[in-house]
Amino acid sequence: MALAPPPSSMAATPASAGGTSTGPGASLPSGATVPSNLPLIAGAGATLLPSAAPAPAPPLLTTPVAPPRPSAPPSPLVPRRFGGPVQNDDVRRLLAMDAAERFDLVELNALPLVEISRESFNEEAIRVQLRERSRALLERVKQETDDLAISGAFFRGLVLQWYRESPTLSGWSTGMPERWGGLFADSRAAGGRLQPWLVRRLLTLAHGGHDAPPLSGKLLKHLGRGRKEEHYLERPPAQTWAAEAAQAILDDLALHPHVPGAARIALVRLSELAQRRQVENINQALGLLLDGPERGPFVLLHPNRYPDCELVTVRPPPPGSSGAALSYTLHLQRLTLPAAVPGVPATEALAAASSSLGAEGVPAMADGGNPWEAQERTSESWGALLRELARAKQHLPPPPKDYRQRAVYRTLRDVVVSEPVARASFHATRWRGRPSGLLLLSTLLTEGHLEPEVSTDYEYLDSELSDLEDGKPERMPDPPQWKVPGGTVVREGDFQRGYRYRFTRQG
């Protein structure tokens, strides 16, 4: 507390001291001066207004008001001190976001949401706006980080940013751990701090919590059974492992910028995660996230899609590894194009070069190429390829999305349906994951009956049978029976009790 200056030294007094103002545009009368020791009031367009009648006034106790703190937006690569003061720009950026056109997942994650939730605002309207905005963003964040198709593409985009920008961006390893931490799942450092998942931080802000979950008892109380927000934190095991694996790789890349010419990087966070979750689960999660084989290697970047990049893969640890010897590694390899061949496009030459890598990241086909890229392939060629793959204990790569329109797929199906030996080789070399229609059809023809274990598998099998019969995969015959080479397939049962398929041979 400080004493106000004596009346004789005051040429003008604030309106709160007994004077009156003429409005926001009022100015001092001619000859009036403002004493240097008079405190200023912060506020947009605020001015010091003169008293209508500057008369002597008794001394008053006044509280000096500190000048407003400058609020320059922090650099995105400068880490904010944990628990430090929140700049007003952070609040404005959060309130300016929505779940559509003004949505940026990385920028949202970089905002100090835990610190914002701890901030004490004098106006209830601001707290209400923050709660409403965080609830509006939750659904979009959940979709971006849980849907494997969307999150896989987003994850690859961040890896591409690491490859292209980290070599020349100063302060990468200082700022990016804070910027990418907690995007897909909790970021954990052994013996260090925990960066909660973005969804947890948004839920804390939505409920006015003041601690970062999962340490917040208040949040857990709000997320009791029966509350609609509970599903935001729920994930099936495979989805949880995929999110944790993606976050562990991002945490490793944030700490280690790309050094051109480097051949490998040890992924310490991912290796520690595999020790907690088991290598088989992490391999399965990476296969789902990156749409690749579960045994690895897992392709993050490929020059077929990004011509300026090297082949970037994640290699799992060798079988039997444990303890400190268990290590995932990131490998970078420059693909060298073969000598130019007249009439062969450069993209095809690059595909041919990458297909021979085998364990380097692209499954090596026995005949030296990706079988789905060929315009045509004979039945004899498919039979020889399946035998060679079975001998080498390799698997076919999954077919592309337009596989039904490709002649090579129809030829493979004809071979599997008509030749029992090729059918057995196909079972040993089948691709992993979807589409599963041809594998189900092969199993049905081999065993004579089939009851799909997964409730949705019948849709793949029905489409495969209809496409085989008349080239119309969307058609559903009534009654459900199909004529196939060598016999007839009949479907029995219903959706509630499950479907059963029976193959009857002719003759």
Find out whether the peptide bond into 435 is cis, omega within 30 degrees of 0.
Answer: yes
Q: Where are the beta strands (DSSP E) in 10-62?
A: 61-62
* Average predicted confidence (pLDDT) for the chain: 74
Which pLDDT score is estimated for 116? 77
Average pLDDT on 284-300 reads 85
pLDDT (average), residues 253-282: 91
Residue 69 has pLDDT above 80, yes or no: no
Confidence band (pLDDT; 50, 70, 90) for 56?
low
pLDDT band of 88, cuts 50, 70, 90: low
- In this structure, are residues 356 and 293 in contact, taking their beta carbons and an 8 Å threshold? no
Taking the domains of the chain in order of start, what are their residue ranges?
A: 1-70, 88-290
Can you give the pLDDT at residue 349?
A: 46
Calculate what percentage of the chain has a pLDDT beyond 70: 68
Torsion of CA 99, 100, 101, 102, to 10 degrees: 0
pLDDT digits over 94-104, tens only?
888 888 888 88
Looking at the predicted structure, is the pLDDT value of residue 62 above 70?
no
| Tens-digit pLDDT profile for residues 340-379 | 444 444 444 444 444 444 433 344 444 445 788 777 788 8
Pair of tokens at residue 383: 């039979």
**Is the pTM for the entire model greater than 0.75?**
no
Contact indicator for 486, 503 with CB cutoff of 8 Å: no
Q: Helix, strand, coil proportions of the chain in percent (round to 5)?
A: 45, 10, 45
Task: Tell whether the model's pLDDT for residue 64 goes beyond 80.
Answer: no
Q: Classify residue 226 as left (phi > 0), alpha (psi -120 to 50) or beta.
A: left
CA distances from residue 190 to 97, 268, 269, 316 in whole angstroms, order as listed: 34, 11, 9, 21
Radius of gyration of the chain (CA): 33
The phi and psi torsions of 74 (rounded to 5 degrees) equal: -70, 150
Q: How far is the C-alpha of 463 from the C-alpha of 475, rounded, in Å?
A: 8
Closest listed residue to residue 484, CA positions, set 499, 498, 464: 464
- Average confidence (pLDDT) over 74-85: 44
Q: Is the dihedral of CA 365, 371, 377, 378 positive or negative?
A: positive
- Which pLDDT value is given to residue 394? 80
pLDDT of residue 443 exceeding 90, the answer is no
- pLDDT per position as a tens digit, 166-214: 999 888 988 899 899 999 999 987 676 678 888 888 888 887 654 444 4
205-208 contact pairs (CB < 8 A, 24+): 205/113, 205/116, 205/117, 205/130, 205/131, 205/134, 206/131, 206/134, 206/135, 206/138, 207/131, 208/117, 208/127, 208/131
14/47 Cα distance (integer angstroms): 10
Give the HSE-up count for residue 197: Cα atoms under 13 Å, Cβ half-sphere: 23
Q: At residue 175, what is the residue type?
A: G
Angle between helices 420-429 and 437-447 (to 10 degrees): 130
